[in-house]
Chain A
């Protein structure tokens, strides 16, 4: 089945540094990738939608200059958290749409636990 590989699974960084999270679609082309954030005991919140070769669309309240999204190829999308602060500590998950893959759903990466100290 369609698999999205997300790395790293866990990262600890110092406040003020940047962290890059990668999501790769392994056996299909992901035209659209969604990025979610999940705080403890909270639901997944959609941060942005990225389409290959174009600028990402950010949800209201999400700073596009802080959360840089690049979707330069059909198999790779990256999220960079710039100048990270402790309040950015969260669980970040990517998800690819399976439209065009003969399915109506989505496949999720395994998530990245970011801790900013």
Chain B
């Protein structure tokens, strides 16, 4: 089966930097996604990693180490609107065709002034 772990809740200060970690165990790894979700809304795509290394996209960066089963999402210059849940999701190969995602439980990020 698949197992994805991420912290339940984190608090950070406006203007600062925060790193949200995600560890996973899966067979047939085929990519890791990070999504942002505000309460009662659908997730919105933030980043995708399939190879080791860092992917930077404006204020958001995501890192992947496949050998360690580890990823992190880095948020810089935090803004109040960044208060949300951040979901780590893994895709696994299922023998061809499109594959559904397995989501972690999400990290609720609280930004304080």
Tell me which residues from 84 to 106 in chain B have a Cβ below 8 Å from any Cβ of chain A: 87, 89, 97-106
Complex alpha-carbon distance, A37 and B5, angstroms:
19
Contacts of B100 in A (CB 8 A): 34, 46, 49, 95
Complex alpha-carbon distance, A99 and B98, angstroms:
7
Chain A proximity of B78: nearest CB distance (Å): 22
Chain A proximity of B29: nearest CB distance (Å): 14
Chain A interface size, as a band, is: 20 to 34
Complex alpha-carbon distance, A6 and B43, angstroms:
13
- Whether A32 pairs with B97 at a CB distance below 8 angstroms is yes
Contacts of A70 in B (CB 8 A): none
Interface string of B30-45 (1 = CB under 8 A from A): 0101000000111111
Contacts of A109 in B (CB 8 A): 42
Report the stretch among A14-22, A75-83, A100-108 that lies at the interface. A100-108
Q: Which residue of A lies closest to B98 (CB)?
A: A97
Chain B proximity of A33: nearest CB distance (Å): 9
Chain B proximity of A1: nearest CB distance (Å): 10
- Whether A104 pairs with B97 at a CB distance below 8 angstroms is no
Complex alpha-carbon distance, A3 and B97, angstroms:
20
* Complex A-B: 12 CB contacts under 8 Å: A32-B98, A44-B101, A93-B42, A104-B31, A104-B48, A104-B50, A105-B48, A106-B33, A108-B44, A110-B42, A111-B41, A113-B40
A residues contacting B by CB (< 8 A) are: 6, 31-32, 34, 36, 42-46, 49, 51, 91, 93, 95, 97, 99, 104-111, 113
